[in-house]
């Protein structure tokens, strides 16, 4: 017998799955970081089970940490591009 999906839990579960996929993270990796079993995470993502507040807190912390990592990666890539452009300008300058 299939469980009835709660609309709010389904929307939050869809948001969890979208965020996890945006971070290029497998369900196993996300489950390990959220301190749960992968099948529990999949139930939350499908909206079958309501998400406990502790899992919600872990999810928010994980999202914040992933955001900081992305910002650091972007800063690093921008600096690389700036240094590459500076090298091009210096090397192309008349001697």
pLDDT in tens, the chain (95 residues): 556 666 777 788 888 888 888 778 888 988 888 888 999 988 888 888 888 888 888 878 777 777 777 778 888 888 888 888 888 887 887 76
Residue 50 pLDDT: 82
Residue 30 pLDDT: 85
* Residue 22 and residue 62 in contact, taking contact as beta carbons nearer than 8 Å: no
Residue 36 pLDDT: 87
- Interatomic CA distance for residues 55 and 84, integer angstroms: 43
- Closest alpha carbon to 19 in 34, 39, 4, 3: 34
- Interatomic CA distance for residues 46 and 12, integer angstroms: 9
Other C-beta atoms closer than 10 Å to the C-beta of 27 total 15
For residue 47, the SS3 value is: coil
């Amino acid at each position: 017998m299939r469980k009835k999906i709660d609309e709010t839990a389904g929307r939050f579960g869809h948001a969890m799955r979208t965020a996890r996929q945006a971070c290029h993270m497998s369900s196993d990796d996300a489950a390990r970081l959220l301190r749960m079993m992968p099948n529990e995470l999949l139930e939350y993502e499908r909206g079958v089970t309501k998400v406990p507040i502790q899992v919600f807190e872990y999810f928010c912390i994980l999202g914040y940490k992933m955001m900081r990592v992305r910002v650091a990666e972007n800063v690093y890539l921008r600096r690389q591009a700036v240094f590459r452009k500076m090298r091009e300008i210096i090397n192309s300058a008349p001697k």
